[in-house]
Amino acid sequence: SKPLVTRTTKEPVLNLSTGFYDHEGRFAGVINVTLLTSYFRGYYSDLVADDPGLAVNLFREGGEIYTRWPDIAGAPDRLSPQGPVLTHLRTGEESAQLRGISSVNGEDSFLAYRRVNNYPLYVGTGMSLIALRNDVLTELGTLFAMGALPVAALFLTATLALRNARTALQTMESLEKEIETRHRAEEALLQAQKLEALGRLTGGVAHDFNNALMVVSNNLHLIRRAAPGVATKQVDSIARAVKSATNLTRQLLAFSRRQPLVAEHVVLQEKLPSIKDLVSPAVGSQIQLDVQVDAATAPVTLDLAELELALLNLAINARDAMPKGGSLSIMARNATAAEAGTSTPTDMVLIDVQDSGTGIAPELISKVFEPFFTTKAVGEGTGLGLSQVYGMCQRLNGRAEISSELGVGTRVRLLLPAAAPQVQQASASHPTLAPLGKTVLMVEDNEEVAASLVPILESLGCRVTHVDRTAKARQLLERGDQPDIVLSDVVMPGDMDGVGLAQYIRQTWPRQQLLLMTGYAEQLDSIRGLGFEVLPKPCTPEMLYTALAKLTRAHSQG
């Protein structure tokens, strides 16, 4: 409360009130505590007894003074709104040390104040410069009277004490920063562990989903071969659904960072508008999404899934910055020479992502690309989205730039190296599937995948022997049944997986041709690093044919 005076004893008091509730959470009444401000006056008088030049007061955030020590006759009962203390208080500073004209005694003073916990109460102190100067002069006179040497010793002692105090303060501040840094690192580790768990879960689901897609894709191919004119519309619809599901799986793997980087020639005029279908569900219906690509935009060479992930991360950040809706635009064009920082404007392609959100504080702009740094509340952001965008641009020898204004919005610009246009060769995308005439030992534990793969291989002119365990494949090979090609899935039950089988075959029969398949996208790079040919699931019959034909040519040339 503001300062009050009791009706009975006419004593100045301070009231504090709070509600209380019963065990069922219902309002049960108010607790009111009345404090005599004379208690504080007595406390302050004892506190500053050894320093009579020091004044202490207790005041409310509006400037009303509850009590002060010492009592000054005719002193105002509130601080001046134009005084130094209330001027600083209005800026949001809950504590300060300053120099100014005291609104209580009108003297030039050293002033200090600090808020009392979460109450709208402040304790203020003041030391008149005149009184302080007189005290100092008195002390100096006494010291000089006692002799210059003791004065010098005392001055040196005071200087060392002040230096030690400053060192201790700096050490404490460094310790607090270290504790904060460690806390952030622990939170970052927790977020990284969550992402790793999500990636493993997504990878496992994608493996099973890829197997199912491969069954559908292979049987669809067989239906087209067996009955080319039957239910063409329905068959084409199934093919489009398989392609869409394959792209969805790839996007999930990219989001969980389980998808290896596969650089490809990307024409943004063709690919960027389709990204709108990926971004729209993420931003919601309250945000107006606009995607435009200039017709003259040069192509780029990058991993399309990584670009999709980068734009999805930026869209999610924009959505979080616009809780009540807004607009998000994704524009692509050739960068100007000034924007690209090169002599030729077409050397760089600019992808401009701009939102109308709340914006980012200027002092945080330099940190937003740092891994695990986030402006969102705990649990609402990982701090990895913008770092992924920055990392992608750096890997492509490009750069990412960000600008923001509070209350206006944020703009992120991706500058990527342009690639030379490519001539489309339709004949190369549909090779003639001439019969291979090879024997194939197929190792696949999924019966449905095997049942769809066997007729595909037979349609390619291969004689197929199927086993569902690597141990059975070893038995066939060890008794002399050597096929032209061993085709094996990577993930297999038993004590040896497909990679182990391939390594065993390479050591025992170095000239044996090997081809592996996997639905775990993150295994592709590591398997290729071992020197084995590997196909991702699902793969089309054309991809399978191309890989088998490549092995055949390599074997004949060897």
pLDDT value of residue 552: 79
Q: Is 292 helix (H, G, I), strand (E, B) or coil?
A: strand
pLDDT tens for residues 134-153?
777 777 777 666 666 776 77
Q: Is 484 helix (H, G, I), strand (E, B) or coil?
A: coil
CA dihedral 546, 552, 556, 558 (to 10 degrees): 90
pLDDT surpassing 50 at residue 69? yes
Provide mean pLDDT across the span 290-296.
Answer: 91
pLDDT surpassing 90 at residue 277? no
CA dihedral 300, 306, 308, 311 (to 10 degrees): -90
Tokens encoding 313? 């991360």
Instruction: In whole angstroms, give the CA distance from residue 417 to residue 128.
Output: 67
Chain centroid to Cα 163, Å, comes to 42
pLDDT surpassing 70 at residue 357? yes
Which amino acid type is present at position 523?
Q
Q: Burial level of 141, CB count in 10 A (0-12/13-18/19+)?
A: exposed
Distances (CA, A) of 231 to 220, 242, 410, 506: 12, 17, 50, 46
Buried b (16+ CB within 10 A) or exposed e, 396-406: bebebebebee
Q: Which helix (H) or strand (E) holds 173?
A: helix 148-226
Instruction: In whole angstroms, give the CA distance from residue 132 to residue 414.
Output: 61
Lowest-pLDDT choice from 68-82, 249-263, 454-468: 249-263
Instruction: In whole angstroms, give the CA distance from residue 59 to residue 68.
Output: 9
Top pLDDT among 159 and 107 is at 159
pLDDT surpassing 50 at residue 427? no
pLDDT value of residue 252: 62
* Count of CB atoms situated within 10 Å of the CB of 420: 8
The domains of the chain, with CATH numbers, are: 4-135 (3.30.450.20), 263-417 (3.30.565.10), 432-557 (3.40.50.2300)
Q: How many CA atoms lie within 13 A of 350 on its CB side?
A: 21
Q: How confident is the model at residue 265 (pLDDT cuts 50, 70, 90)?
A: confident
Mean pLDDT of the chain: 81
Let me know: does 442 contact 454? Beta carbons within 8 Å.
yes
Q: Burial level of 419, CB count in 10 A (0-12/13-18/19+)?
A: middle
Residues 6+ apart with CB under 8 A from 273: 291, 293
pLDDT value of residue 351: 93
pLDDT surpassing 60 at residue 384? no
pLDDT surpassing 90 at residue 446? no
Distances (CA, A) of 550 to 50, 428, 490, 546, 556: 96, 15, 20, 6, 10
Distances (CA, A) of 242 to 37, 214, 221: 79, 9, 12
Top pLDDT among 104 and 117 is at 117
Provide mean pLDDT across the span 301-328.
Answer: 86
Q: Is 123 helix (H, G, I), strand (E, B) or coil?
A: strand
Let me know: does 67 contact 40? Beta carbons within 8 Å.
yes
Provide mean pLDDT across the span 224-241.
Answer: 75
Tokens encoding 432? 């003639």
Any idea what the Cα angle at residue 304 is, between residues 296 and 350, rounded to 5°?
A: 40
Q: How confident is the model at residue 192 (pLDDT cuts 50, 70, 90)?
A: low
pLDDT tens for residues 462-491?
999 999 999 999 999 998 888 999 999 988
pLDDT value of residue 425: 47
pTM over 0.85: no
pLDDT value of residue 330: 93
Q: How confident is the model at residue 430 (pLDDT cuts 50, 70, 90)?
A: very low
Helices (DSSP H) in 289-384: which residue ranges? 304-320, 337-340
Strands 287-293, 264-266: pairing is unpaired
pLDDT value of residue 207: 65
Top pLDDT among 369 and 483 is at 483
pLDDT value of residue 439: 92
Longest CA–CA separation in the chain, Å:
119
Smallest CA-to-CA distance from 37 within 73, 18, 9 is with: 9
DSSP code for 418: B
pLDDT tens for residues 507-554?
999 989 999 988 776 677 788 888 888 888 777 888 888 888 888 776
Lowest-pLDDT choice from 96-105, 163-172, 312-321, 516-525: 516-525
Distances (CA, A) of 18 to 15, 21, 33, 532: 10, 10, 9, 74
pLDDT value of residue 426: 43
Tokens encoding 516? 């592996």
